[in-house]
Amino acid sequence: MRWNRLLGIAVLLSLPLSGSAAETPPPIRVTDSQNSLEIQTDQLQATIIKRGYVSGVGRGSLIDRKTGAKDLGFGLHIMDFLMAPGWREDEYSREPKYHGNLPKHYVEGPQICTQAKAIDPQIIRGKDFVAIVMRYQFHQPGAGYQAGSTWEQTLIFQNGQRYFLSSERIRSVNSVNHLFYRIDMPGHIQHQKGDSFEKIYLSYRDQPIPASEFQADFAPDAKFLYQRNPAKIPERFIRAYQVKRPNGAGPWLAGMTLNPGDVSEAWCHQRGYVCFIQELHGKRVQAGQSFGAAYVVGWFDSVDEMHRVYDQYRGKSKIVLDGTQFRLEAE
């Protein structure tokens, strides 16, 4: 009898404790080195580059721990520069295959991703999340403009999610009639004749686009160009690609702009890779004004799942950090 009681106790002790600390995921791990931050949640791995090609999440480093899939481009939520419509005599290329017949000029630079060279992120540990905050001040004004506008990007990583939340805020030192900024969202796709991805989903189009549409180069304004029509803002603004995996079609990597009206123009064209340029704001700005947008970036098993997650956050344009908590707010 005593043996049976001891055996029963041993069996009970060996059972998992539902809802207990035994099932709580380990804290989000952040490894800080000279050149990068390594982030590891229970669902994702990601690298934040501090030296070199900076801003957003570094190339090929957003790993979905569920499937092993990783992003296919040069980074995710990558920041470029501030711009306005119309050609000017500056260094902005007029090569049609790169920029199409879409006249634009620089307001302030440099291009953060390629020319900032170094950013020292701030790490903020909150309640059940880790925030990474990056900042930069533009110092190359276009003709007729001042330098000194500031950019701040916030990335939020949480356990239990195969995606991260992100946003940027820009404070302009210039008054501009139609000021916009350019990012990669979610990020470009490197491929050889469609060998790395199955299809692309653009929520402002009726049907997904097969990889076969990206066999040959074409200009941004040749196909799949989005330009904001205030009378016809899409219900959701999601751009995603489905990766190929060794056993067939894999998950989707999506970039969701949570307020569809924040996007002024977006490209999805082929120029040696699929170029996912997105431009935001595109409105009159007074000196001293701040503006930005908010996003979900990460992995999903289906378009329906993307829609469900989008609708949880729809309409938000900024992340506000408040002590050990954060919240998303509308503009």
Q: Which domains, and CATH codes, for the chain?
A: 26-329 (2.70.98)
pLDDT string in tens for the chain (331-residue length): 444 443 343 333 333 333 444 578 899 999 999 999 999 999 999 999 999 999 999 999 999 999 999 999 999 999 999 999 999 999 999 999 999 999 999 999 999 999 999 999 999 999 899 999 999 999 999 999 999 999 999 999 999 999 999 999 999 999 999 999 999 999 999 999 999 999 999 999 999 999 999 999 999 999 999 999 999 999 999 999 999 998 888 999 999 999 999 999 999 999 999 999 999 999 999 999 999 999 999 999 999 999 999 999 999 999 999 988 999 999 8
- How far the first Cα of the chain sits from its last, in Å, is 69
> Which structure tokens are listed for 83?
């711009």
Residues sharing a CB contact under 8 Å with residue 105, sequence separation 6 or more, in sequence order: 83, 84, 85, 86, 87, 88, 90, 92, 142
Omega before residue 110 within 30° of 0, cis: yes
Which value, to the nearest 10 degrees, does the dihedral of the CA atoms of residues 33, 293, 130, 118 take? Answer: 10
**Dist. CA 117–CA 136, nearest whole Å:** 11
Q: Model-level pTM?
A: 0.92
Alpha-carbon span 248 to 67, nearest angstrom = 12
Alpha-carbon distance of 316 to 137, in angstroms, equals 25
Note whether 62 and 40 are within 8 A (CB).
no
Helices (H) and strands (E) in the chain, counts: 4, 28
Q: How many Å apart are CA 269 and CA 188, to the nearest integer?
A: 10
Amino acid at 328: L
C-beta separation of 186 from 77 below 8 A: yes
Name the CA radius of gyration of the chain, rounded: 22
Give pLDDT, residue 3.
40
